[in-house]
A and B are shown apart, each in its own frame.
Chain A
Amino acid sequence: MVASKRHSLYFWLIWLVISIVIASYLVYAMKSIEAGQFGPATIFLPGETTSGHHQIEENCAVCHLASFGGEALLQDACTKCHAEELERIEDSHPLKKFVDPRNADTLAKLDARFCVTCHVEHRPEMTKAMGVTLPENFCFQCHEKVGENRPSHQQLDFNSCANSGCHNFHDNRALYEDFLLKHAEKPRHLPRQQVESRNLMEFFSMTALYPSTEYPFKPLSLVQADAPLAHGSDHQINSDWLASKHAQGGVNCSACHTQTNTSTNGKEWLDKPDHTQCKGCHIGETASFSSGKHGMRLAADMSLMSPSLARQPMKAESHSELVNCHSCHSDHRYDTKYAAVDACLECHDDEHSRHYLTSPHGKLWQQEVESQAAPGSGVSCATCHMPRVWHENAEEVERILVDHNQNNTLRPNTKMLRPVCMQCHGLGFSIDALADPSLIKNNFKGLPSVHVESIDMAVEADRLHRLKRLNKTSP
Chain B
Amino acid sequence: MCLKKNMLLASLVSTIFIVPLQAQDVGMEKTIAPRQMADALHLVMEADRTVYTKKVVNRLTKKDKVITASEHFKDDKALPLPAQMFRFGAETAAEKIAKKADIDFSYSLQSIWPVNKQNAPKTDAEKEGLQFVADNPGKNFYTMEELAGKKYFTAVYADVAVAPVCVSCHNDHKDSPRTDFKIGDTMGGVVIRIAQ
- Please report which residues of chain A, range 63-110, place their CB below 8 angstroms from some CB of chain B when the two chains form the complex: 90, 94, 96-97, 99-108
- Within 439-475 of A, Cβ neighbours of B (below 8 Å) are at 461-462, 465, 469, 472
Interface residue? A142 (CB, 8 A): yes
B118 contacts across to A, CB distance below 8 A: 142
B98 sits at the interface (CB 8 A): yes
The answer to whether the Cβ of B61 comes within 8 Å of any Cβ in the partner chain is: no
Q: Which of A102, A142, A146, A469 has the most CB of B within 10 A?
A: A102
The 3 A-B pairs at the shortest CB distance, nearest first, are namely A104-B148, A465-B174, A96-B91
A107 to B195 Cα, complex, angstroms? 18
Interface string of B120-141 (1 = CB under 8 A from A): 0011001000000000000000
Q: Quick one: given A100-B108, A108-B148, are A178 and B122 in contact (CB under 8 Å)?
A: no
A422 to chain B, nearest CB (A): 12
Question: Could you say which residues of chain B place their CB within 8 Å of the CB of A101?
Answer: 106, 147-148, 150, 152, 193, 195
For residue A176, CB closer than 8 A to chain B, the reply is yes
Q: What are 28 A-B interface contacts by the 8 Å CB criterion? A: A90-B74, A94-B91, A96-B94, A97-B91, A99-B94, A99-B95, A99-B106, A100-B94, A100-B106, A100-B108, A101-B106, A101-B195, A102-B108, A102-B123, A102-B126, A102-B147, A103-B122, A104-B147, A104-B148, A105-B122, A106-B122, A107-B148, A108-B148, A145-B117, A461-B174, A465-B174, A469-B172, A472-B179
B75 at the A interface (CB under 8 A): yes
- For residue A10, CB closer than 8 A to chain B, the reply is no
**Which residues of chain B from 138 to 165 have any CB-CB distance to chain A below 8 Å in the complex?**
147-148, 150, 152
Identify the closest chain B residue to A144 (Cβ): B117
Given A96-B94, A179-B72, A469-B172, do A102 and B191 touch, yes or no (CB 8 Å)?
yes
B175 interface contact, C-beta 8 A: yes
Residues in chain A near residue B191, CB distance under 8 A: 102
A472's nearest neighbour on chain B, judged by CB, is B179
Map CB proximity to A onto B76-104 as digits: 1 under 8 Å, 0 otherwise.
Answer: 00000000000000111011001000000
Q: How many residues of B contact A (CB 8 A)?
A: 28
Interface centre among B71, B72, B75, B174 (most CB of A within 10 A): B174
Interface size on A, residues (CB 8 A): 27
Q: Are A462 and B174 in contact (CB under 8 A)?
A: yes
Interface of A is mostly: helix
Per a CB cutoff under 8 Å, which of A99, A100, A176 touches B72?
A: A176
Instruction: State the Cβ distance, B117 to closest chain A Cβ, in Å.
Output: 6
A2 and B175 CA atoms in complex are apart in Å by 88
A367 to chain B, nearest CB (A): 33
Let me know if A149 is at the binding interface, CB within 8 A.
yes
* Contacts across chains A and B counted by CB atoms under 8 Å: 55
**A94 neighbours in B (Cβ, 8 Å):** 91
Contact with B along A158-183 (1 / 0, CB 8 A): 00000000000000000010110000
- State how many angstroms separate the Cβ of B109 from the closest Cβ of chain A: 11
Is the Cβ of B75 less than 8 Å from the Cβ of A99? no
Closest Cβ–Cβ distance, residue A417 to chain B (whole Å) = 13
B94 neighbours in A (Cβ, 8 Å): 96, 99-100
The CA-CA distance from A411 to B95 in the complex, in Å, is 29
B-contact 0/1 string along A201-224, CB 8 Å cutoff? 000000000000000000000000
Determine which of B72, B106, B126, B147 lies in contact with A178 in the assembled complex, contact meaning CB atoms within 8 Å: B72
Which A residues touch B92, using CB under 8 A? Answer: 96
| Bound Cα distance A149, B191 (Å) | 24
Q: How far is the CA of A102 from the CA of B145 in the complex (A)?
A: 11
B71 and A178 contacting across the interface, CB-CB below 8 Å = yes
List chain B residues, Cβ under 8 A from A106: 122
Chain B residue at minimum C-beta to C-beta distance from A94: B91
| Contact between A149 and B98, CB atoms less than 8 A apart | no
In the complex, chain A residues whose CB is within 8 Å of the CB of B98: 99
Residue of A nearest to B172 (CB): A469
Contacting residues, chain B, for A145 (C-beta < 8 A):
117
Considering only CB atoms, which chain B residue lies closest to A95 in the complex?
A: B95
* CB nearest neighbor in B for A142: B118
Which among A108, A178, A461, A462 has the highest number of chain B CB atoms within 10 Å?
Answer: A178
Cα-based distance from A204 to B150 in the complex (angstroms): 55
| Distance of A99 Cα from B95 Cα, bound (Å) | 9
Check A179 against B75 for contact (C-beta < 8 Å). yes
Contacts of B106 in A (CB 8 A): 99-102
Determine the chain B residues whose CB is within 8 A of the CB of A149 once the complex forms. Answer: 117, 175
Tell me, in angstroms, the Cα distance from A105 to B147 when the chains sit together.
Answer: 8
A355-380 near B? 1/0 per residue, CB < 8 Å: 00000000000000000000000000
Q: How far is the CB of B104 from chain A (nearest CB, A)?
A: 9
CA distance A142 to B106 in the complex (A): 21
> Known pairs A100-B108, A101-B148, A149-B117. 11 more at Cβ < 8 A?
A94-B91, A96-B92, A96-B95, A99-B106, A101-B147, A108-B148, A146-B117, A148-B117, A179-B72, A179-B75, A462-B174
